[in-house]
């Protein structure tokens, strides 16, 4: 006897089938798009990135042009100095756009370096376990003992002064914390039922890591990445302050904040780059929270 479902039951069955057929990535994307704070963070960070990349090409004032007759001018529409000028007569809008460009670049490159090295190192160490794990993590412990400043000085002495090498040096230091986080999560995940089932089915170790371990690490890794970017931006600012980072006429948000702090009687020199950095950091934090909520399997 053939049973015919009611129209309401048909709709419910179709909805269940659609949900059942939805992949992990589709579900994560849906959750991410539903997060208003994360979407706002993406939009704001995208706008800041466009300003940093395109702005210097369309703004009438070069970032290194010194107007000797316009020293320390406050924000004004005259001559299009909308955010004023610094102690050398350089336009603050142009300086902030260039500083934002450098800060986002160091954040992106250094974080990407730490992500690639840290995730690969931590996943292999945690999954292999035993003596391999002990050996790999002892190397991390030894590198942790090397002072950050000493490592950067060593890189600049051996390879010469290059802002790109400084980016790589910062990333090469930050990967160690990423490796520890990934190792800890991998040690916990490798004994889960779904990993044991895949191992029993004959999946090779590299397949277990790529297809079963790493997808379940997206939550903590995404959060740590968004926390790493502000850290490396601040580290670059410190290096610029002591003369090992960005040199004139280039600048960064951290360097602009340092300059504004020394000239506190001209508040626009401090507040403009400081507010820009705060907005950037808030956007990264919102994005990190949204990625964690979207990719963390415990929230499903």
Hey, where are the domains in the chain?
A: 34-67+80-299
Looking at residue 40, what is its pLDDT?
93
Rounded Cα–Cα distance for residues 267 and 128 (Å): 55
CATH fold for domain 34-67+80-299: MetI-like fold (1.10.3720)
Looking at residue 17, what is its pLDDT?
43
Rounded Cα–Cα distance for residues 274 and 237 (Å): 12
Residues of the chain scoring pLDDT < 70: 1-25, 160-161, 241, 243, 296-300
Residue-by-residue DSSP string for 238-288: HHHHTTSS--TT---HHHHHHHHHHTTTSTHHHHHHHHHHHHHHHHHHHHH
* CA distances, 13 to each of 2, 10, 200 (Å): 17, 5, 33
3-state helix, strand, coil in the chain (%, to 5): 75, 0, 25
Tell me which H or E stretch contains 178: helix 163-189
Of 113, 124, 149, 117, the closest CA to residue 245 belongs to: 149
How deeply is 58 buried, as exposed, middle or buried, from its count of CB atoms within 10 A (0-12, 13-18, 19+)? exposed
């Amino acid at each position: 006897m053939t049973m015919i479902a009611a129209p309401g039951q048909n709709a419910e069955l179709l909805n269940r089938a659609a949900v059942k057929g939805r992949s992990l990535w589709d579900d994560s994307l849906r959750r991410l798009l539903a997060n208003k704070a994360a979407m706002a963070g993406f939009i704001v960070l995208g706008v800041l990135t466009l300003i940093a990349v395109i702005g210097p090409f369309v703004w009438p004032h070069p970032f290194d042009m010194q107007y000797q007759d316009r020293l320390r001018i406050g924000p004004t529409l005259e001559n299009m100095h909308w955010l004023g000028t610094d102690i050398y007569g350089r336009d603050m809008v142009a300086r902030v756009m260039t500083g934002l460009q450098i800060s986002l670049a160091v954040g992106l490159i250094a974080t990407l370096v730490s992500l690639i090295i840290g995730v690969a190192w931590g996943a292999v160490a945690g999954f292999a376990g035993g003596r391999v794990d002990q050996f790999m993590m002892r190397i991390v412990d030894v590198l942790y003992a090397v002072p950050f400043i000493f490592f950067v000085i060593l890189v600049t002495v051996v390879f010469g002064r290059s802002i790109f090498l400084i980016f790589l040096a910062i990333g090469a230091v930050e990967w160690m914390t990423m490796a520890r986080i990934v190792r800890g999560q991998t040690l916990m995940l490798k004994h889960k039922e779904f990993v044991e089932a895949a191992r029993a089915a004959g999946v090779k170790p590299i397949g277990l890591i790529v297809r079963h371990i790493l997808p379940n690490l997206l939550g903590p890794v995404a959060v740590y990445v968004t926390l790493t970017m502000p850290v490396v931006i601040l580290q670059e600012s410190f290096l610029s302050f002591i003369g090992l980072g960005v040199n004139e006429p280039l600048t960064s948000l951290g360097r602009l904040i340092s300059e504004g702090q020394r000239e506190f009687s001209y508040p626009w020199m401090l507040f403009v780059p400081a507010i820009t950095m705060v907005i950037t950091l808030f956007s990264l934090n919102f994005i990190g929270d949204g990625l964690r909520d979207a990719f963390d399997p415990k929230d499903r």
